[in-house]
Structure 1
Amino acid sequence: MRLSVLDLAPIAPGQNAGQSLAGSVELAQAAERLGFARVWYAEHHNMATIASSATSVLIAHVAAHTESIRLGAGGVMLPNHSPLVIAEQFGTLAELHPGRIDLGLGRAPGTDQRTWTALRRDIRASERFPEDVLELQGYLRGEPTVPGIKAIPGHGTDVPLTILGSSLFGAQLAAALGLPYAFASHFAPDALHQAVAVYRERFEPSAQLAEPYVIAGLNAVVAPTRAEAMAMQRTVIRSRVRSLLLRDTPAAAAVGDDELDALAASPQAAHVMKMVQHTALGTAEEATATLRSFLIEADADELIMAVHGTTAERITALELLEGAGALADQQAPAGRGDAVSPAR
């Protein structure tokens, strides 16, 4: 079972962004020490509880404090950016940390429409996502599609790309381009099985990847005892209810746990509960069993976990999973190594 970590750099109550980012370094160091495959960071904007907005900067910082683990974006929301700028940023990372950098690409803005306007991007930019992926890929391969333009750094670095998605659109694009496909089943599970089936059926081999390669996301709440894990899961659900239903307003901060629990049990929270449908929950043995069954259910080659809790609790979760044998095989499946290392 190939197992990786998705770190949203959560900002806990009473914590600032600097403390959160320090925790991300500690988490990556633990993942490296324990043998996890990689750590990815997701681009979000204008969210009070997430510190991973400047994804490439965070990757650079973590890479400088680790030695060998793969690091990357899961993902960069390409409609927010110029393909040339992303090629330069990740090309720089690849030159500084050869063989360690991944670039996952998403089509969503990673924020609300008003914040997207503040990012100075055209609201129609997502419609150009396939063309932007090809432009970005051209810069990184050293075969630019825009005459006379090179990404320096970036030109010829062949940073491996992965298409992220939660619908058939991303699955079809990844298949057509011969790229790995990562499905966001840790928060949008509905189309998982159909999207993976379409991707595998339509996959066309490419210079980067000979066979289809699927990464499926899920949540992980793991503790020494089931009671501790269930208490942590209640905290996770309360946080999502506060953020998604109450919009993290000043008034939301005053809402107590009992009220949040009642709201979580109401019909209004059905979509919030759906988001945590795929969760490895409980002791290390229970969580590992869930991971193994989900790997088969999702028809995935790799799982990437959004591990919840404080920094100490997340590191403990990784240690528990490693101790329970969740990392029995971290080698890429035969013929699929290019999904996790730069194509040359």
Structure 2
Amino acid sequence: MITVPLSALEVATVQEGARAADTLRDTTEFARRLEGLGYLRLWYAEHHHSPAIGAFPPVVLTAHAAALTSSIRLGSGGVLAPHHAPIMLAEQFGTLAALHGGRIDLGIGRGPGTFDEATARALRRGAGPATDDEYRSDVSATLRHLVDEVVLDPLPEPWLLSSSTAGAALAAELGLPIAFAHHIRPDNTLAALDHYREHFSPSRWCERPRILICVETICADTQREADRLAGPMNVVKAALLKGRGDIAFPTPEQAAAHSFTDEEARALAGFRAQQAYGSPESVDKRLTELVGATGADELMLVTPVYEFAARLKSYELVQQHIAVPTAS
């Protein structure tokens, strides 16, 4: 049985035939309901130029949700450092932390957050992808500005997002808690976390290695229903495997009629085996296995399903059937 706190990642999917405004309305209700269910934190991801995912700035969604809630931690999962001036990130999230009782997290990632090259260049004002040195400099500068320029208290809690050993190495070097994207690069998880623990250097931000892993989790009354709910994201993932980010988020019925190649079907099955889909009992078993294998201090669940009610029910079932400790 799960013995670590559970949190949630909001990727703000825009369903086929819906408006982005409908997704924004749902994010408001989602934050309120997650707080009522007792989840520890809710983070917002940064994406751009995708018909399946809304381009809603994490800082704006964080501010909006913080004004409507009182206890759940909120923040970015993450803001993509190469797209933003470090001092602005420090000022924005520092202000939010001061306004909302220190329950704000600043999760920083690398990106690019889009599969469209023109959009990526626009976000970088014409520059190409950030180099490793540029990214390290951006993250370090953001942390420095939090301390030296943001004369507010309390400060936001910084996290480094990673899906690779390189990202884990940077988190260890800077002494930051790590949020690992197991839902994106599950094959990298164990090696990256081993490196993080072995090379971690304590800092003012974190005294010891601290690990959150994000897991794609679809919990339903039955395995069959969980598989049905997973269908739309499978279609999107099959497109992403080809480097395409121009696919709308289909309905479950459209997904059921979609034909996958043998290669796509194998890749999707391999990915699914490393996430947590199914009934509450099977989801509990899988999440417990992941905590045991990774030594994670916290799990963050991302549930990309078509219907808002079904997505919320997944989080409710996890809360009802899986032990969720209160935040320390």
Same fold, TM-score > 0.5, yes or no: yes
Whether the 8 Å contact between 1:186 and 1:217 is mirrored in structure 2 is yes
For 2:98, the equivalent position in structure 1 comes to 95
For 2:130, the equivalent position in structure 1 comes to 125
For 1:302, the equivalent position in structure 2 comes to 298
For 2:144, the equivalent position in structure 1 comes to 138
1:164 partner letter = L
1:179 partner letter = L
CA drift of 1:5 comes to 0.4
Q: Structure 1: 5+ residue runs without aligned partners?
A: 144-149, 333-344
Query: TM-score if structure 2 supplies the norm length?
Result: 0.89
Matches within 5 A, 1:88-237: 88-112=91-115, 113-119=117-123, 120=125, 122-127=127-132, 128-141=134-147, 143=148, 150-151=149-150, 157-237=154-234
For 1:342, the equivalent position in structure 2 comes to none
Taking only the aligned residue pairs, the percentage that are identical comes to 36
Matches within 5 A, 1:208-287: 208-242=205-239, 245=242, 247=244, 257=255, 260=258, 262-263=259-260, 265-268=261-264, 270-287=266-283
Mapped to 2, the partners of 1:110 and 1:248 lie a distance apart of 10
- Residues 159-202 of structure 1, C-alpha deviations (whole Å, 9 max, x = no match): 21111111111111111111101111101112110000010111
Whether the 8 Å contact between 2:15 and 2:248 is mirrored in structure 1 is no
3-state DSSP class of the match of 2:77?
Answer: strand
Whether the 8 Å contact between 1:244 and 1:272 is mirrored in structure 2 is no
RMSD: 2.5
Query: TM-score if structure 1 supplies the norm length?
Result: 0.85
Closer, same or farther: CA 49–313 of 1 in aligned 2, 3 Å: same
Whether the 8 Å contact between 1:181 and 1:215 is mirrored in structure 2 is yes
Whether the 8 Å contact between 1:5 and 1:36 is mirrored in structure 2 is yes
1:140 partner letter = L
Whether the 8 Å contact between 1:71 and 1:100 is mirrored in structure 2 is yes
- Residues 75-129 of structure 1, C-alpha deviations (whole Å, 9 max, x = no match): 1110111101111211221122121100111122111332111211522534311
Mapped to 1, the partners of 2:232 and 2:10 lie a distance apart of 17
Q: Structure 2: 5+ residue runs without aligned partners?
A: none
Which runs of 4 or more aligned residues in structure 1 lie more than 4 Å from their structure 2 counterparts after TM superposition?
A: 154-157, 242-246, 248-259, 268-275
Aligned length: 320
For 1:316, the equivalent position in structure 2 comes to 313
3-state DSSP class of the match of 1:71?
Answer: strand
1:125 partner letter = A
